[in-house]
A and B are shown apart, each in its own frame.
Chain A
């Protein structure tokens, strides 16, 4: 049995009398300890899929199970990082993390929660910023704190929705390497579902890439990424097959979009 099993999933948004189908017939298995990226052009339903896994939205058809049990709502087995606003603006960095830890690990004392928070802030390189409020941190630093919180909560599953989408190119590569290092470094690797619209990011991070097509979103292809870990950017581009995979994905992404809109150029 896979960790997360999605079968014939259908998702709809109902507004007044309109019914908009965001996802249709999505089927997908995600194994324990696997790093899976969901890729597709914007508006294809990536966030919708993730929000169902988060338990913030519910299927209109089909089923989604974790460890064989249907999702009934948000849960303490899943850590989440959004693109923006994962953190609470009125808590400083360490309080944000300690607050998250408190929700999942009831047994810990206050002092122990702060120790956990400080340890994880150190791991994401923010030891000197523990008492800064989110608005005093750059976008990249905020995401580091959000990732630190998700990791500190030590959940089985990590759900990330374009966490690096608003970060500049240079910091983005740094963040990707940091994320991989942290994920790789755990005794028991977490199951990660990572949403992105960046092909290089998906290849660099994932064991498996799931490509979605546009409205309604459905799985176009599942691609296994064969490259050995640990990975680093400079080495990866030298690796045989990297550009072949990249080009293949590029054309898939364009054709799945192009089919529906008649082949005109699209900004992804």
Chain B
């Protein structure tokens, strides 16, 4: 009984409402709706939600899933109504959702190849940024005098959009691909550097004193004491860098790329195929959500010592 009552949620009502939209006849559009694809997508979401609702005892997780998926159902209802059913929005740039889902299904192979290409790009730039920014930030932050100057300089540089550098990268770097990696690098480098330096400056004196009294050497002090103590702060920059990287993916793939999700979106948007462009945007959103999810798990594991 209690479980049944759990099913009577706004999200489930929205799911039924979405399915019932089928009863309203479609208008004639330039891009025809494929409502069955919206239905498949909704059923998949509903299945995930039901599985989570009926298995987990953790209220917080259950609420997050129910609310997010409920929001998606509401969004799909509104979108279908505003396009296919009542044609409120401009049909040139607002394709109906079923058409977008159909494009995703048709292009699934191409999408996977493009996701792979984009992830390699982001991964190279991001890892390179962290590998340089974190040790550099530790070193600069640890030398207080250099650190405070570097703090101002890096704040100034962080405020410049990496897009500004694109022409310079193209001139200076051997390939277009490396110029794209450089944009990804820049997106993650400054936030990580700035947060590492402020993390180092914020390490509690008592922790440092304790380490000194153990007689630790310079290397140990920096990498086994200062680094972990500053890690919660460093992660703030890493998170920020990761989101900026994905935001700039489309710009990075404007530089002579022939593959990648950003390229896919750019390409179809340029030719006015907004169905496919939106399908690409959707897929990027899903990929970013999945990556952020795993990144958060990694972060929670590395910071498991925090209360």
Contacts and interface: CB of A to CB of B under 8 A. Distances in A.
Interface of A: 54-56, 73-76, 78-80, 82, 84-92, 99-100, 103-104, 133-135, 153, 159
Contact of B215 (A84, A91, A104, A135): A104
Given A82-B206, A88-B228, A103-B220, A74 B212 contact: yes
A50 to B, nearest CB: 10
Contacts of A87: 210
A80 B304 CA distance: 26
Contacts of B306: 89, 135
Given A89-B305, A135-B306, A100 B214 contact: yes
Interface string B205-217: 0110111111110
Given A56-B209, A88-B228, A99 B214 contact: yes
A90 B209 CA distance: 16
A100 B224 CA distance: 12
A56 B213 contact: yes
A90 B229 CA distance: 8
A80 B210 CA distance: 8
Contacts of B216: 103
A157 to B, nearest CB: 11
B224 A74 contact: no
Contacts of B220: 103
B213 A78 contact: yes
A110 B216 CA distance: 17
A99 B224 CA distance: 10
Nearest to B204: A85
8 contacts: A54-B213, A73-B212, A85-B206, A85-B207, A89-B305, A103-B214, A103-B215, A133-B305
Contacts of B229: 88, 90
B305 A135 contact: yes
Contacts of B82: none
A197 B228 CA distance: 34
Interface string B279-307: 00000000000000000000000001111
In the A-B complex, list the 5 residue pairs whose CB atoms are closest, starting with the nearest: A80-B213, A76-B215, A85-B206, A90-B228, A135-B307
Given A54-B213, A78-B213, A133-B305, 8 more contacts: A54-B209, A56-B213, A76-B215, A85-B207, A88-B207, A90-B228, A90-B231, A103-B220
A11 to B, nearest CB: 16
Nearest to A153: B214
Nearest to B225: A88
Contacts of A86: 210
Interface string B223-249: 011001101000000000000000000
A153 B231 CA distance: 27
A74 B206 contact: no
Nearest to A87: B210
Nearest to B214: A103
B109 to A, nearest CB: 45
B213 A74 contact: yes
A88 B220 CA distance: 13
B214 to A, nearest CB: 5
A162 to B, nearest CB: 13
Contacts of B204: 85
Nearest to A86: B210
Contacts of B209: 54, 56, 82
Nearest to B210: A86
A100 B304 CA distance: 21
Contacts of A82: 206, 209-210
A75 B215 CA distance: 6
A65 to B, nearest CB: 18
A135 B216 CA distance: 23
Contacts of B213: 54-56, 74, 78-80, 159
A88 B210 contact: yes
B182 to A, nearest CB: 34
A56 B206 contact: no
A137 to B, nearest CB: 11
Nearest to B224: A99
Interface string B5-32: 0000000000000000000000000000
Given A90-B228, A99-B224, A135-B305, A85 B214 contact: no
Contacts of A80: 210, 213-214
A87 B210 CA distance: 7
Nearest to B207: A85
B278 to A, nearest CB: 44
Nearest to A77: B215
Contact of A56 (B212, B224, B225): B212
Interface string B166-209: 00000000000000000000000000000000000000101101
Contacts of B231: 90
Nearest to B303: A90
A144 to B, nearest CB: 16
